[in-house]
A = this chain, B = another copy of it.
Amino acid sequence: MTKSEKPVSVELHHSEGLKFEVNVNGRKLKLNSSDMMEQAFTPMELFLVALAGCTAMDVQWIMDRQRQKLNKFDINISGRRRADDPRYYERIDMHYSLSGSDVRKDAVERAIRLSQEKYCSVRAMIKDAVKLKITYAISTGPQGETRYTYGP
């Protein structure tokens, strides 16, 4: 979706303990282990941000193309880690929440499907390793939202 021909590059510099300073082409970020967070992030948190951000941009872009105007669009994502090493996510729950007076279920389902199956690069890299459970909710007015489960 977002074209960039040159490689994506990142530098990490150790500061102390398990803290690292990250430089992404001049933009800064701090990493730390989960014990002492302050304003730093853990690698596994950033992995969820990458996954959710990837599909969020896809869905926003496809909804725009379908002329489906969104007043509000949120994603909640949470991952449960394995008990044994390597402690990757054995399951990830992702919930899309979309609001707009004319938002149609079929348009949302199509946007999520295109992202999950065709466009989302982070999703593609973990396809065989991680079980993803996807739900979404649509709100078209003050009467509240309707919830759906996404199935491929």
| Cross-chain contact B75 with A11 (CB below 8 angstroms) | yes
CA A51 to CA B79, docked complex, whole Å: 16
Q: How far is the CB of A125 from chain B (nearest CB, A)?
A: 5
| Cross-chain contact B80 with A7 (CB below 8 angstroms) | yes
Tell me the dominant secondary structure on chain A's binding face: mixed
Task: Count contacts on A: residues with CB < 8 A to the other chain.
Answer: 74
Chain B residues with Cβ under 8 A from A56's Cβ?
Answer: 12, 14, 20, 31
Within 8 Å by CB of A53, from B9, B22, B126, B129, lies: B22
CA A129 to CA B121, docked complex, whole Å: 11
Q: Does A67 contact B (CB under 8 A)?
A: no
| Cross-chain contact B125 with A44 (CB below 8 angstroms) | no
Give chain A's interface residues, CB within 8 Å of chain B: 1-4, 7-14, 18, 20, 22, 24-25, 27, 29, 31, 33-35, 37, 39-54, 56-57, 60-61, 70, 72-81, 85-89, 93, 118-130
